[in-house]
Amino acid sequence: MTNSTFPGLDAYLDSEGGPVERALERAVVTLEQCEAPLEPEVLGAIRHGVMGGGKRLRPILFASAYEACGGEAKEASYDLAASLEMIHAYSLMHDDLPCMDDAALRRGRATTHRVHGEEVTIRAGAALIPAAALQALDASGRLGCERVQCLILVRTLMAAAGAGGMVGGQWMDLLGEGLALGTEDLDALHRMKTGALLTASLEMGALAADADKDTRDALRMYGQATGLAFQIADDVLDATASPETLGKNPSDADLDKSTYVALYGLEEARRRARDQVDIAVSALNVAGIDSPALLALSRYVVERSK
């Protein structure tokens, strides 16, 4: 896709959103219709958590990276992209639990545990992890990936889902409540929390398209910088937007967590987010990756209103 054919970000998000939703629907139906299905209540909570809308940023980043790297089976690639959103859904379902953030609202509607109860939500969230691994294995096989690629893809997904990835970051997050973290701690926290799965999205898109190592490295750098920009922008939004606009409540600020805004003030936080976008864009340029979609997505994460 070159600049001349890029339809603009809104149209791009619309056109990508449809196939992502359909792939997620197929993934949920696969769980519902498998030979020995989960209990109906757990399946209901999975459907609530996975099909609850959202930006679908991770699968869309995957699809954009896949296309930028010359991947030719884009329609089939969305099933692989869906595995990333399944992990994201698990992390949100567990994050919102009463013993974690105790959130009542997510994307403008009741959180999964408020609808399906705490125990069902813990089970459903945990069940999404092996389900995502199986989804990645099946989808990468159907996509015609070599076996070694399938192995690296599922390894990348599981590494992002586990140790040192989101879970580590979530914990630093909870521990950081009420503590004034230093700048380096905060950067590390955010790189881990948001960055691991965002970065995995880009790495997996590149891997699935069989990109060379330089391209994969550039997309990893783009992912890390974009992930950090995303988190700083989240802090800015939490400090400036209304719960109605955000569709969630309480914000990190309410919970007295260390945020970029608390540490640096609003303007400096905004500047740091833009710096990260510059780093992301320059990683693409240096590697000669011509992707108006990835350029627009990186800008979008700091300019979005929710």
**Among 106, 83, 74, residue whose Cα is nearest residue 28:** 83
Are 62 and 86 in contact by the 8 Å Cβ rule? The answer is: no
Of 66, 78, 90, 230, which lies in the binding site for a second copy, with binding defined by CB under 8 A?
90
Of 19, 59, 165, 223, which lies in the binding site for a second copy, with binding defined by CB under 8 A?
165
Question: Residue 29, interface with a second copy (CB under 8 A)?
Answer: no
Give the span between the Cα atoms of 268 and 264, in whole angstroms.
Answer: 6
Name the residue nearer to a second copy (CB basis): 134 or 281: 134
Are 235 and 304 in contact by the 8 Å Cβ rule? The answer is: no
110 forms beta bridges with 105
| Nearest-approach distance from CB 251 to a second copy, in angstroms | 19
Kindly state the tokens that stand for 187.
């950067």
Of 17, 54, 162, 247, which lies in the binding site for a second copy, with binding defined by CB under 8 A?
162
Of 151, 179, 180, 286, which lies in the binding site for a second copy, with binding defined by CB under 8 A?
151
**Among 200, 231, 77, residue whose Cα is nearest residue 144:** 77
Give the span between the Cα atoms of 115 and 266, in whole angstroms.
Answer: 35
Name the residue nearer to a second copy (CB basis): 207 or 269: 207
Q: In angstroms, what CA-CA distances link 217 with 59, 175, 203?
A: 19, 31, 8
Kindly state the tokens that stand for 142.
């159907």
| Per-position x/- string for 174-213, each x denoting binding to a second copy as judged by CB under 8 A, each - no binding | xx----------------x---------------------
Question: Residue 230, interface with a second copy (CB under 8 A)?
Answer: no
Q: How many residues bind a second copy (CB under 8 A)?
A: 49
Of 118, 244, 254, 303, which lies in the binding site for a second copy, with binding defined by CB under 8 A?
118
Give the span between the Cα atoms of 230 and 82, in whole angstroms.
Answer: 20
Question: Residue 111, interface with a second copy (CB under 8 A)?
Answer: no
Question: Residue 38, interface with a second copy (CB under 8 A)?
Answer: yes
Run of H or E residues at 106: strand 105-106
Contact segment (CB under 8 A) with a second copy among 56-64, 112-120, 212-220, 283-291 equals: 112-120
Give the span between the Cα atoms of 232 and 270, in whole angstroms.
Answer: 7
Kindly state the tokens that stand for 102.
């105790």
Interaction site with a second copy (CB under 8 A): 31, 34-39, 41-42, 90, 94, 97, 99-100, 117-119, 122-123, 125-127, 129-131, 133-134, 137, 147-148, 150-151, 154-155, 158-159, 161-165, 167-168, 170-172, 174-175, 192
